[in-house]
Amino acid sequence: MENLPQLNLEPGQVHVWFTCPEDIQDPDLLASYHSLLTEEEKEKQARYIMPWHRHTSLVSRALVRCVLSRYAAVKPREWRFDKNNHGKPRLAEECLLLPLQFNLAHTHGMAACAVTLNGSVGVDVERWDRQRDFDRLAARYFSPYEANLLKEVPEYAKRRLFFNIWTLKESYIKARGVGLSMGLDLFSFEAAESGHPRIVLDPLLEDDPQAWAFRLLTPTEHHVAALAVERQPDSACKVQSRFIIPLIHEEVMA
């Protein structure tokens, strides 16, 4: 892995890296991941009570560090991070050799790290084969437009549409980096069943819908991921998905 040529990101290009934490169980490899973490990260990781949460946190830290090192001559353990006022992790100033932007998401069976240059990026990933009371959740978390849309779709299409909208909303919140301080009913997604969803924004949010591109991805048959990317002048948003086992293996996904 160490000898791989560095990757370039063109303006507007986004790479999304997926890994399956549960599939990574080799104790030596996990010890290598642990050795990449700062003392603060080790303490945070050890505080998780649930073993799967602790494991996902460890693999996620290795994911972010190894992925970032594919774009700059910085070793995985040398990256340093800080956070914005709402807790969104970003590169510490001393590591801003390139204007790299990244965002991380994790759920049962999957972690994802999106990387781009200059513009903000947000990613969310969810298992979409879970059964829930989708109409009730939509009434609580979605805009009235989205909740009505969901009510009208036939039962077989409801679950997928719900997770598409959920991950899209989460990706936008994460790209903006303001957490839940932003009202979830102040923005809606149209065409959320398609490859190119569009956002509709309440003027209260003081944001331009044209400034953002959204994509839905299907990293496995059980998972859906959504990406929010701040558009760059004169360049189309191009997304490439990659699968990685940090320090061991990587490949471009079809």
Ligand X SMILES: CC(C)(COP(=O)(O)OP(=O)(O)OC[C@H]1O[C@@H](n2cnc3c(N)ncnc32)[C@H](O)[C@@H]1OP(=O)(O)O)[C@@H](O)C(=O)NCCC(=O)NCCS
**DSSP state at residue 6:** P
Among 173, 213, 216, 244, binds ligand X (CB under 6 A): 173
Among 71, 166, 187, 189, binds ligand X (CB under 6 A): 166
Q: How far apart are CA 125 and CA 17, in angstroms?
A: 12
- Which one, 79 or 166, has the nearer CB to ligand X? 166
Residue nearest to ligand X (CB): 88
230 binds ligand X (CB under 6 A): no
**Length of the chain, please?**
254
Contact mark string toward ligand X, 122..161, x via CB under 6 A: --x----------------x--------------------
Nearest distance from residue 104's CB to ligand X, in Å? 4
Residue listed under structure tokens 């998972």: 223
49 binds ligand X (CB under 6 A): no
Q: How far apart are CA 54 and CA 50, in angstroms?
A: 6
- Which one, 28 or 179, has the nearer CB to ligand X? 179
Which residues in the chain belong to E strands, given as ranges? 13-19, 81-83, 89-91, 100-107, 110-117, 121-127, 187-190, 198-201, 212-220, 223-230, 238-245, 249-252
Q: Is 231 helix (H, G, I), strand (E, B) or coil?
A: coil
| Site of interaction with ligand X (CB under 6 A) | 57, 60, 86-89, 103-106, 124, 141, 166, 169-170, 173-174, 177, 179-180, 184
